[in-house]
Amino acid sequence: MINAIDFKVESREGEARAGLLTTRRGVIETPIFMPVGTAGTVKGIRFEELESTELDARIILGNTYHLWLRPGIETVEVCGGLHKFIGWKRAMLTDSGGFQIWSLGALRKITEEGTEFRSHIDGALCFLSPEISMEVQAALDAEIAMAFDECAPGKATKEEARRGMELTLRWAKRSKEAFERWQSDRTASGSDWLAAEGSKTNEKAGGTPALPVGQALFGIIQGGSHLDLRRESLERTIEIGFDGYAIGGLSVGEEKSVMLDVIEDVAPRMPVDQPRYLMGVGTPEDLIEAVARGVDMFDCVLPTRNGRNGQAFTAHGKLNIKNAQYATDQRPLDQDCGCSVCHRHSRAFLRHLYLSGEMLGGVLLTHHNLAFFLDTMRRVRQAIRSGQFANFRREYTEQLVR
């Protein structure tokens, strides 16, 4: 495999780790939260805001399924890859499309070869396989690509979970093979424009070690809520060999305690010197609990989706801005939050915007929520590095009004 990322744990406190993830687009401190940019945009927020000191998102997600259907991979390729197409210069990770197709439910049909489904845009019959997902992800050219997997429902029986896990393993092998073909094609053709850009930067910087080149590929661990399956999935995925490992198939309908049990069992068994990514999870408190169990990377639609739906995350828990109690409430969403929304706007105004169906309502709540998630992770990293994570975790939990 090409050494496409570098990962180093710098501090530990219990299972919690603070580290550095290096991609060809620079160094990312972990644990990290990745805002979700499904269709090439983190919904409702400008890239300038994501890059600002206030949010400072170092890596965002793109989605293979959505971008493949629209604008289509030819468009992205003509425009020089996903970064150039959307105008984002920092790191990206692309999901494989497996989960999104899974979430289509009745619209899909899974076979050994791949997944047949109907487009959510126009109902057209489409087919995605490990090979196609890798082709699409090579064209999108994010720093981290994900293996094509199949997710079992949260309450899957052991038999269902094993079937999904075995299929995911076979697909993981095919994903890796296809991925490596695309990577060596690229190396052979010398078409890695960013590697070239990277070397120039490194030359200028003198003694700085060269950044990695190319894309990394992460494998995904499945197995539902069955710990023995999870362990087997982990071992056999490691045997295939990836640049990092993700825990998939959580937060899909199972109890929260079940999710935490799986993370607690699996995360500490994952390779210590490689990044551990918990997919699609969760609230700020979920993130803290998963960090305590050894996870390094997260993505979740909660700050953006819930923001658009009028829900704010605060240090004291969730706040539904549509509630009548906020009609003349001149306080900010969160009195301890340092974000530009809390600095300027009252709950009363945000409620007015939301009730009036004004775009700015979603824009401002999204901004606050992302600021809150990203700031929480910044505080998590500082806490681990200063050996105060256990205190931080206790205090954070205590001030939550559930």
Site residues for its own copies, 222-241, by CB under 8 A, read none
CA distances 86 to 12, 71, 256, Å, are 36, 11, 36
Paired tokens of 193: 């424009």
**Are residues 39 and 25 in contact, defined by beta-carbon separation less than 8 angstroms?**
no
**55/229 with CB nearer its own copies:** 55
Which candidate in 141, 149, 299, 334 is catalytic?
A: 299
Question: 19 in helix, strand or coil?
Answer: strand
- Which positions from 364 through 383 interact with its own copies, judged by CB under 8 A? 364
Among 355, 386, 391, 394, binds its own copies (CB under 8 A): 355
User: Does residue number 320 form part of the binding site for its own copies (CB under 8 A)?
Assistant: no
With binding defined as CB under 8 A, does residue 71 bind its own copies? yes
Token readout for 294 is: 């050894």
Say if CB 96 and CB 66 are below 8 A apart.
no
Near its own copies in 77-96, by CB under 8 A: 78-80, 85-87
CA-CA distance, 46 to 25, in Å (whole number)? Answer: 19
Give yes or no: 299 in active site.
yes
Min CB(220)–its own copies separation in Å: 26
Residue 145 Cβ, how far from its own copies at the closest point, in Å?
Answer: 21
In the list 128, 221, 278, 353, the residue contacting its own copies (rule: CB under 8 A) is: 353
State yes or no: residue 396 binds its own copies (CB under 8 A).
no
**Least CB distance from residue 33 to its own copies, whole Å?**
20
Give the N- to C-terminal CA distance of the chain in Å, as an integer.
46
C-alpha distances out from residue 41 to 52, 61, 211, 222, 366, Å: 16, 9, 26, 28, 13
Q: What share of the chain is helix, strand, coil (3-state, %, to 5)?
A: 45, 20, 35
Tell me: does residue 307 bind its own copies (CB under 8 A): no
| Cα–Cα separations (whole angstroms), residue 48 to 35, 42, 45, 53, 57 | 14, 12, 8, 10, 10
Asked if 75 is part of the footprint of its own copies (rule: CB under 8 A), the reply reads yes
CB 304 to its own copies: min, Å: 10
Give yes or no for residue 349 binding its own copies (CB under 8 A).
Answer: yes
Q: Which residue, 230 or 347, is less far from its own copies as judged by CB?
A: 347
In Å, what is the CA distance from 112 to each residue of 150, 300, 357? Answer: 11, 29, 45
Among 12, 14, 47, 318, binds its own copies (CB under 8 A): 47
The owner of tokens 């489409």 is 126
Distance between CA atoms of 74 and 292, rounded to whole angstroms? 42
Position 305 contacts its own copies (CB under 8 A): no
Minimum CB distance to its own copies smaller for 79 or for 110: 79
Residue 301 contacts its own copies per CB under 8 A: no
- Contact with its own copies (CB under 8 A): which of 362, 368, 369, 392? 362
The answer to the question of residue 322 lying near its own copies (CB under 8 A) is no
3-state DSSP call for residue 133? Answer: helix
Considering the complex, state which of residue 6 and residue 329 has its C-beta at the smaller distance from its own copies: 329
Q: Which one of the listed residues 95, 149, 192, 286 is annotated catalytic?
A: 95
User: Is residue 75 left, alpha or beta, with left meaning phi > 0 and alpha meaning psi from -120 to 50?
Assistant: alpha
If one asks whether residue 27 binds its own copies (CB under 8 A), the answer comes out as no
Is position 48 an interface residue for its own copies (rule: CB under 8 A)?
Answer: yes
Report how far apart, in Å, the C-alpha atoms of 352 and of each of 190, 311, 313 are.
55, 14, 18
CB of 87 to its own copies, least distance (A): 4
User: Is 95 an annotated catalytic residue?
Assistant: yes
Whole-angstrom CA distances from 78 to 74, 82, 101, 377 are 6, 10, 26, 36
Closest alpha carbon to 136 in 187, 82, 85 = 82
The minimum distance between CB 344 and its own copies, in angstroms, equals 4
Binder among 344, 387, 391, 397 for its own copies (CB under 8 A) = 344
Give the binding site for its own copies (CB under 8 A). 39-41, 43-48, 70-71, 75, 78-80, 85-87, 308, 327-328, 330, 340, 344-346, 348-349, 351-353, 355-356, 358-360, 362-364
Active site residues: 95, 299
